[in-house]
Amino acid sequence: MILNHKDAIEFLVSAADDIGFNRYTILVLHGLLANNLLVDPSAAGRLRYIAVGIERSAFHPLEVPQLIEEAFDKILATADAIVDPFEQAFFVMVQLPYLQPFDDVNKRVSRLAANIPLIKNNLSPLSFADVPRQAYTEAVLGVYELNQIDLLKDLFVWAYERSAARYAAVRQSLGEPDPFRLRYRAELRELVADLIRGCTGRKGAAARIAAWAAERVDPADRERFVEITETELTGLHEGNFARYQIRPSEFAAWRKVWEAK
């Protein structure tokens, strides 16, 4: 479940220019969050065809697949038309769990989907890490049973205030990220990983980096890209190589070649 959340968050961040309140984003989000968690694996990333119940509730969501699909599309269209990002976030937190468009994992989808407008507007992200489970359950049941959003609204505001404060503290301690590194984050990760897996030594690294940059990096950025890539390689050690999704055995093999005289 934790790895699924990691994959879903990385998807939202890496595809920030493409995500939105559309089928692609929400279906992919569910597919990532529900990976290996459903009785029917094919239901991950697919609108439900079956009836579902709500634990501890007499509420019964829609059961007809065609009506579920129509309501799902209407929710997305309405959310996309809302201008205020906070209103968008709260809207999907209310509407998606109420519809229950998927076999399971609906609330998790709604909480991460609430971050879509925040990410796109460069606002602090929303986290429910500190929210008591019982309080969240009661707030959602209030929507199911009574069509009352007040408790969930209060919880949303409380959670966002705490999230924003924590995010501000983290940003202050870490400083601003390098815009150049952010722009070429994927390229840097791909190239460094390739160099390590290929056991590229010091002598061959410079030529490979220059050739790679000549093919894929804008001319105005090539010199800086080459410099940063070389810095990343020389700064790798056992405590930071994992960020390039390299196995310990691959790093160890590369390290021997890199340090050879």
The model's pTM is: 0.74
Mean pLDDT of the 29-47 span: 93
Tell me which residue has tokens 């390739």.
194
| Angstrom distance (rounded) from CA 12 to CA 89 | 14
Token pair for residue 81?
A: 């038309």
pLDDT at 260: 82
Give yes or no for residue 261 having a pLDDT over 80: no
Summarize the confidence of residues 209-235 as an average pLDDT: 93
> Across the chain, what does the average pLDDT equal?
92
Residue 68 confidence (pLDDT)? 97
Give 44-47 contacts, CB < 8 A, sequence gap 24+. 46/102, 47/72, 47/101, 47/102
pLDDT at 61: 94
Query: Which residues are annotated as part of the binding site for ATP?
Result: 104-111
- Over residues 95-134, the pLDDT tens digits come to 999 999 999 999 999 999 999 999 999 999 999 988 999 9
| DSSP-assigned letter for residue 221 | G
For the chain, domains (ranges, CATH) are 1-173 (1.10.3290.10), 179-259 (no CATH)
Q: Which residues are annotated as a binding site?
A: 104-111
Residue 157 pLDDT > 70, yes or no? Answer: yes
Q: Which 3 state secondary structure label does DSSP give 241?
A: helix
